[in-house]
Homo-oligomer: A and B are copies of this chain.
């Protein structure tokens, strides 16, 4: 959502950016960037919902979930084929097999596909299947990966690092944009704080702050931002109200059986109920 003049006392710049940004800054490009992918506009009036499982686990799991999120109103299917896991003994993803399943789910549902790339050596392969690339929190400052993605002509969803300042997130976007790829979606997904009852602390302050300093769309991930499925609809509503251009939400056809992130994954039913609620909030703030 654009800043409405009446609400803004003056043009405060509060993130110190040094050296200055050339491409990611709103000073250099005052109008909002709209990233158009296969007819879907991200950064325009519509709040675009990207939903799906944490990890692609099987054809059945992915297709059941994809159909459910499509029915609920999602426009983009999320799902990890390459999974960055804290332990080497946790499920690491189906890799290329997972990418193929994502492409099949796209073919069936018409959803776009966003999926994570963890390594520059996988980039060509991931680009073959994804509509939108994702760089995860742990790789937000993997600068050589950012540079490689900068040479691609695929939009990038760039997730804020767990303890990255907003300046660092914008500088990471600058690495990509400097290489020629100007279609970056900034993603707030919760930061690491002392509070232990939630997995992370969703920082919704980040949304207006990023939009003040940058023209890029801002997406919010309430699943990682809370870690608890029952909290996700509440924080999703807040994200829409604060001005997010999109949401990234974990949904699993059977959350209790998920190989990763089950506790924060919505069931299809909960997702559907959430989407109904979000429409009302979006309308209240002039979005759709």
Contacts and interface: CB of A to CB of B under 8 A. Distances in A.
A243 interface: yes
B208 A201 contact: no
Find the residue from A120, A165, A274 having the highest chain B CB count within 10 A.
A165
Contacts of A109: none
A79 to B, nearest CB: 18
A154 interface: no
Contacts of A16: 197
A238 interface: yes
How many identical chains are in the complex? 4
A284 to B, nearest CB: 4
A226 B166 CA distance: 14
A195 B201 contact: no
A42 interface: no
B171 A12 contact: no
Contact of A274 (B7, B163, B267, B270): B7
Given A9-B230, A138-B143, A139-B141, 7 more contacts: A6-B269, A12-B230, A118-B142, A165-B197, A192-B194, A205-B235, A208-B230
Interface stretch (A67-75, A81-89, A100-108): A81-89
Interface string A6-38: 111110101110110010000000000000000
A141 B164 CA distance: 14
Contacts of A163: 162-163, 192, 194
